[in-house]
């Protein structure tokens, strides 16, 4: 991950002296094959990390099945009992995971809606994750951890939902866009507070965002949903908001049979926009400069405080879009209304997505697709194989841990030895953007 390979989305962030082209490995087959099996090859490490995480998930599934574990008691008398039963547990779980996420072989002869159903579920689950991954990436490139996605998405959802059920005079699509914009503004404001506190009061953003998460959560579930403005009178006794009018709801993307809504298009537009932002815009350049080394950026005449606030505003706006898809999208199980648990932990999952995508816009899309597939498959796994969807959380966390520790993967699979470069001893090369490791000279969190 830290080899200076030329990367499309990653131009040299600061005007570095023309760096001598890294000695290109000679392209004979032996080298290519060998390079696949080094710990430096991030694609291999990512693949192996997924495999390892699935293996650990399988172990958990077997260990937690009491019937199977009872057969382990007489393992030496009849080992096949235990092994076949364990195999059944794991294969039924993972095959339904696959069927729920990608496609079900039984539907080959069915309608297109059945055939593409799992994929469209995956896309729907991936949509909020794309926004989240982008949001974390923008903040991270400016040298900040936005742990506050939960809060920002809740505030975005509140704003979007309010416009969704109250501004009913607006015609059709305009109403939807107004609701989407409201969600963006909500998340933006809540993120901007963090940026302001960081830039002008020196408050550490990790602490502030964690605290604001709980403030937003309590505000929504503990108070707002009980007020007459937001509470749905039809759902007496339940903390549920008023449903959005149909004109504000995000329309289906591929026809009414499939579960994907137009949020996916917004997500892809946002990805392209963020990619453009990093690559071409002045502010994006400043963001990266501040993230690499705030003191150098300040010396170069960049207003660090302004950039930090701007980055948090953008990050919050993207998180607000999660709030929009969670309330107005098809994934909302409560008739497009607010509910206390609408966040679904997405603010935290977003962090894992951004890490897996290595804080690159299109990388986040791939990571979101993987995690969206796991979510969609997990839902079917829960109903078909009676394996709790919580195992998906475990698998996601493990994937990220393994990806972040390539050395561990290398040790497990006996890949070729390479010491991971922490960036501490880099001489000329600009430090690689690496979300997992801070080097010892500059903390990625900026000055605390």
> Under the rule (CB under 8 A), what is the footprint of other proteins?
60, 64-66, 145, 147, 197, 201-204, 206-208, 210-212, 214-215, 218-219, 221-223, 226, 345, 348-349, 351-352, 355, 387-388, 390-394, 396-398, 400-401, 404-405, 407-408, 420, 422, 424, 435-438, 440, 443-445, 447-448
Give the nearer residue to other proteins in terms of CB position, either 68 or 247. Answer: 68
Of 244 and 444, which has the nearer Cβ to other proteins? 444
Distance CA 126, CA 373 (A): 7
Neighbours of 58 (CB within 10 A): 19
Q: How far is the CB of 387 from other proteins (least distance, A)?
A: 8
* 211 or 268: CB nearest other proteins: 211
Q: Which C-beta is closer to other proteins: that of 175 or that of 360? A: 360
CB of 175 to other proteins, least distance (A): 30
Shortest Å distance, C-beta 395 to other proteins: 8
CA 343/CA 219 separation, integer angstroms: 13
User: Considering the complex, what minimum distance in angstroms separates the CB of residue 148 from other proteins?
Assistant: 11
Smallest distance, other proteins to C-beta of residue 351, A: 6
Q: Rounded to an integer, what distance in angstroms lies between the CA atom of residue 290 and that of residue 311?
A: 10
DSSP for 317-375, written as a single string: HHHHHHHHHHHHSTT-SSTT---TTTTTTHHHHHHHHHHHTTT-HHHHHHHHHHHHHHH
**Other Cβ atoms closer than 10 A to 279:** 15
- Cβ nearer to other proteins, comparing 119 with 197: 197
Q: Please say which residue, 219 or 254, places its beta carbon nearer to other proteins.
A: 219
Shortest CA distance to 315 belongs to which of 154, 150, 134? Answer: 134
Strand, helix or coil for residue 231: strand
230: CB partners within 8 A, 6+ apart:
158, 161, 162, 224, 241, 242, 338
What would the two tokens of residue 357 be?
Answer: 């995508």
Q: Least separation, in Å, of the C-beta of 390 and other proteins?
A: 4
Of 54 and 250, nearer to other proteins (C-beta) is 54
Contact in structure between 97 and 380 (CB atoms under 8 Å): yes
Q: Which is nearer to other proteins, 66 or 228 (CB)?
A: 66
Q: Minimum distance between the CB of residue 107 and other proteins, rounded to whole angstroms?
A: 28
Q: How far apart are CA 137 and CA 129, in angstroms?
A: 12
Sign of CA pseudo-dihedral 247, 127, 337, 348: negative
Q: How far is the CB of 386 from other proteins (least distance, A)?
A: 9
Is 292 within 8 Å of 13 (Cβ atoms)?
Answer: yes
The residues, any chain, with a CB within 8 Å of residue 131's CB and separated by 6 or more, are: 267, 270, 318, 319, 321, 322, 325, 350
């Amino acid at each position: 991950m830290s080899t200076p390979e030329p990367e499309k989305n990653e131009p040299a962030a600061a005007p570095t002296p023309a760096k001598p082209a890294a000695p290109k490995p000679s392209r004979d087959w032996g080298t290519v094959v060998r390079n696949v099996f080094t710990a430096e090859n991030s694609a291999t490490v990512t693949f192996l990390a997924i495999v390892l995480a699935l293996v650990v998930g399988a172990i958990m599934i077997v260990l937690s099945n009491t019937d199977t574990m009872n057969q382990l008691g007489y393992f030496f008398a009849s080992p096949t009992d235990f092994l076949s039963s364990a195999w059944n547990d794991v294969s039924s779980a993972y095959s339904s995971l696959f069927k729920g996420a990608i496609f079900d072989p039984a539907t080959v002869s069915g309608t297109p809606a059945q055939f593409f159903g799992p994929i469209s579920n995956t896309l729907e689950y991936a949509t909020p994750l794309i926004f989240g991954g982008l949001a974390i990436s923008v903040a991270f490139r400016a040298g900040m951890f936005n742990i506050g996605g939960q809060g920002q998405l809740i505030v975005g959802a509140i704003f979007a939902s309010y416009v969704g059920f109250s501004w009913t005079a607006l015609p059709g699509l305009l109403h939807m866009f107004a609701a989407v914009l409201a969600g963006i503004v909500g998340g933006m404001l809540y993120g901007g507070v963090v940026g302001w506190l960081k830039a002008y009061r020196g408050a550490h953003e990790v602490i502030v965002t964690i605290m604001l998460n709980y403030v937003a959560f309590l505000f929504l579930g503990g108070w707002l949903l009980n007020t007459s403005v937001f509470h749905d009178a039809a759902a007496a006794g339940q903390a549920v908001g008023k449903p959005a009018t149909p004109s504000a709801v995000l329309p289906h993307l591929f026809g009414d049979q499939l579960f994907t809504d137009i949020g996916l298009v917004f997500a892809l537009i946002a990805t392209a926009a963020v990619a453009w932002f990093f690559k071409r815009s002045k502010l994006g350049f400043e963001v990266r400069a501040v993230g690499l080394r705030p003191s150098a950026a300040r010396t170069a005449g960049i207003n660090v405080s302004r950039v930090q606030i701007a980055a948090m505003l953008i990050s919050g706006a993207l998180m607000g879009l999660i709030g929009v898809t969670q309330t107005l999208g098809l994934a909302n199980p409560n008739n497009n209304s607010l509910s206390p648990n609408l966040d679904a932990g997405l603010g935290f999952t977003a962090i894992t997505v951004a890490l897996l995508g290595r804080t690159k816009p299109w990388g986040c899309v791939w990571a979101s697709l993987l995690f969206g597939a796991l979510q969609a498959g997990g839902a079917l796994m829960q109903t078909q194989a009676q394996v709790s969807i919580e195992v998906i959380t475990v698998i996601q966390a493990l994937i990220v841990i393994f990806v972040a520790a390539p050395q561990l993967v290398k040790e497990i699979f006996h890949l070729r030895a390479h010491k991971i470069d922490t960036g501490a001893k880099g001489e000329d090369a600009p430090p690689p953007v690496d979300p997992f490791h801070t080097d010892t000279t500059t903390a990625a969190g900026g000055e605390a």
